[in-house]
Structure 1
């Protein structure tokens, strides 16, 4: 936990003199469903993200227990059996939007390449994705999607439910950032 706080402090310090946009209500969703079985999907509407508009550096943090499922038992199993969210309460992303320029943004989405490191359950994986970005009424809206494997983060799926959970987890996010003053 101290490492996560230190990471955010370092990112925030490095962005101290730069123009920053942020949110504390970003939407992060995942789907791990297999057809013919119950949907395995959840939403987290309290992701914190910060963007340095001068460099394109971006950092995001979410609390694992803030993911909510339609089925309460599924949420309990997710936190206790798969994510071990008492031991690993947060997930983080630290990366860069390549060739980012706030001046080039318009109300029409533009595509950029997002590269960075996703840390879940203490394991880190390199991520590269296309991110759509637009500037609407002074707000920067970022959205993207990518896939990861439970194996990437040492998440073991018991054999009894292995066929009910996808081998590739689809992650989608949408963050509406406002200028930090």
Structure 2
């Protein structure tokens, strides 16, 4: 008799556990980066399809973007970015997995609060620890998280050819903006 009820009991327990989860998600987060140098053509791109998950009970935050999802103003620059720099066929995803430091959901209101998000950024097959100053707030039943950080291409094994090295910044500025809704 117990054998027949075991699958039903398992489903009930899994449902109860997930009911306590406070996950907020988006599939259309915005990530921009810029590596422009004065007096040269803008080196900037944007992805409007970054997926992210925020677990408010723990402060855990993760994001994933398809590298080919970044759009440049100049098509040729986008092609060079994908083929020569980030090798997006070989390394199709960039991801971040981290945590909002000392997160307390009860302290988040409609007023923006400054927080620090620390975690591992994986790009071009390399992982590096990054820290970001971010703003977090509630917007109705959703969380808004936005912030920025900078990285060096060389930290991720991305080589900038000498011929264009003066046209690309040593540090790439990354800005992100997410509106995460309850799952």
Fold shared per TM-score above 0.5 = yes
1:81 aligns with 2:84: yes
Whether the aligned pair in 2 keeps the contact of 1:138 and 1:178 (CA below 8 Å) is yes
Tell me, which stretches of 5 or more residues in structure 1 are unaligned? 1-13
Whether the aligned pair in 2 keeps the contact of 1:61 and 1:91 (CA below 8 Å) is yes
C-alpha distance in 1, partners of 2:178/2:75?
26
Instruction: For 1:76-115, list aligned pairs within 5 A.
Output: 76-115=79-118
1:172 aligns with 2:175: yes
Of the structure 1 ranges 64-73 and 105-114, higher mean CA displacement relative to structure 2 is found in: 105-114
C-alpha distance in 1, partners of 2:93/2:101?
26
Higher radius of gyration, 1 or 2? 2
- Please give the root-mean-square deviation of Cα atoms over the aligned residues, in Å: 1.3
- Count how many residue pairs are aligned between Structure 1 and Structure 2: 167
Whether the aligned pair in 2 keeps the contact of 1:15 and 1:52 (CA below 8 Å) is no
Structure 1 counterpart of 2:71, from 50, 59, 68: 68
TM-score by length of 1: 0.90
Instruction: Decide which structure has greater helix share.
Output: 2
Superposition deviation, residue 106 in structure 1: 1.1
- Which residue does the alignment assign to 1:51? 54
- Which residue does the alignment assign to 2:10? none
Instruction: For 1:88-167, list aligned pairs within 5 A.
Output: 88-167=91-170
SS at match of 1:147: strand
Superposition deviation, residue 136 in structure 1: 1.1
Tell me, which stretches of 5 or more residues in structure 2 are unaligned? 1-16
Q: Which runs of 4+ in 1 moved over 3 A?
A: 14-17
Superposition deviation, residue 137 in structure 1: 1.2
81 and 15 in structure 1: CA distance in 2 versus 1, 3 angstrom threshold: farther
Superposed CA offset, 1:22-63 (max 9, x none): 100000000000000000000000000001000000111000
